[in-house]
Amino acid sequence: MTTIITVTSGKGGVGKTTTSASIASGLALRGFKTAVLDFDVGLRNLDLIMGCERRVVYDFVNVIQGDANLHQALIKDKHADNLFVLPASQTRDKDALTSEGVEKVLKELEHQGFDYVVCDSPAGIEHGAVIALTFADEAIVVTNPEVSSVRDSDRILGIIQSKSRRAIEGREPVKEHLLVTRYDPKRAHEGEMLTYTDIQELLRIPLLGVIPESEVVLQASNQGIPAIHQKGTPVADAYQDAIGRFLGEEHPLRFVEYEKPGLLKRLLGGK
């Protein structure tokens, strides 16, 4: 049985690709055979975040159109065993990802014994975003503590509940998870920013985790190594916790409370 996880948000730039890369890597590090698929046709970026951009030969659309087989197009990750990347196509034809084509690729991944397929959705609520969530078993809704992101997350939840195969066929609904990213405990504490509990109250879906805002993410993307590999940093730990919860483990939330820096720290100019 392959579980299909779609990472989605409606809004762009909230951390979907960062999250797809880290969640897929984390699942693979735990021993699950995992593939991460870039659905952002025309704006391929997952390859850069995964650090495999120079090894891209064939892409998702090539496989769908029969120019290459899946085996040729899947790129083996350098940082985790059991992990494979399927890059998006840079073609400008957004409709190249047909639902029959995507379904065929997903079936084949299942056939090859993949445990998890992580689908990195493009922004928006158009064709690309819809096709990325069509076959989802579980959805990770990435949301920033900011008004337009929360509203767009609610829109995308509506689309999951109406346009996913599970919804259309009246099967058990897609399991929805809220992942709050780019969270700044200090600004939330000071009432400048929505808190994660505010967001959860508004969206009313279970909280998978809270990923703090951190410069580590930029450092990770600069190097093409998913943030989850930056061991010992709050971002990596928060992603690890989220994966644990996804797999049914219990972990208390970390990095969500603001701690006033002590006098010494302030004098020494620590952050």
- What residues line the site for ligand ADP (CB under 6 A)? 9, 12-18, 123, 181-182, 211, 213-214, 217-218, 221, 235
Q: Which residues from 148-167 bind another protein, rule CB under 8 A?
A: 150-151, 154-155, 158
d(CA 131, CA 121) in angstroms, rounded, equals 9
Cα-to-chain-centroid distance, residue 23: 6
Q: List the single partner that 188 binds among Mg ion, another protein, ligand ADP, none, CB under 5 to 8 Å by kind.
A: another protein
- Of 93, 95, 190, 257, the residue at the interface with another protein (CB under 8 A) is 190
In whole angstroms, the minimum distance from the beta carbon of 198 to another protein comes to 5
Closest Cα partner for 237 from 211, 207, 208, 206? 211
Q: List the single partner that 6 binds among another protein, Mg ion, ligand ADP, none, CB under 5 to 8 Å by kind.
A: none
Alpha helices, DSSP H, located in 165-269? 165-168, 185-189, 196-203, 216-223, 234-246, 263-268
d(CA 246, CA 260) in angstroms, rounded, equals 31
d(CA 222, CA 218) in angstroms, rounded, equals 6
d(CA 157, CA 205) in angstroms, rounded, equals 9
In whole angstroms, the minimum distance from the beta carbon of 147 to another protein comes to 5
Binding mask 10-49 for Mg ion (x = CB under 5 A): ------xx--------------------------------
Whole-angstrom CA distances from 170 to 7, 246, 252 are 22, 24, 34
Q: List the single partner that 18 binds among Mg ion, another protein, ligand ADP, none, CB under 5 to 8 Å by kind.
A: ligand ADP
Q: List the single partner that 198 binds among ligand ADP, Mg ion, another protein, none, CB under 5 to 8 Å by kind.
A: another protein
Instruction: Calculate ∠ Cα 189-23-170, nearest 5°.
Output: 100
In whole angstroms, the minimum distance from the beta carbon of 1 to Mg ion comes to 27
Q: Which is nearer to another protein, 67 or 201 (CB)?
A: 201
Q: How many CB atoms lie within 10 A of CB 231?
A: 8
Q: Which is nearer to ligand ADP, 12 or 31 (CB)?
A: 12
In whole angstroms, the minimum distance from the beta carbon of 14 to Mg ion comes to 9
Question: How many residues bind to another protein according to rule CB under 8 A?
Answer: 18
Q: Which residues from 231-260 bind another protein, rule CB under 8 A?
A: none
Number of helices (H) and strands (E), helices first, in the chain?
Answer: 13, 8
Q: How many CB atoms lie within 10 A of CB 176?
A: 21
- Site membership for another protein, residue 193 (CB under 8 A): yes
d(CA 34, CA 24) in angstroms, rounded, equals 6
In whole angstroms, the minimum distance from the beta carbon of 126 to ligand ADP comes to 15
**Interaction site with Mg ion (CB under 5 A):** 16-17
**Interaction site with another protein (CB under 8 A):** 146-147, 150-151, 154-155, 158, 188, 190-195, 198, 201-203
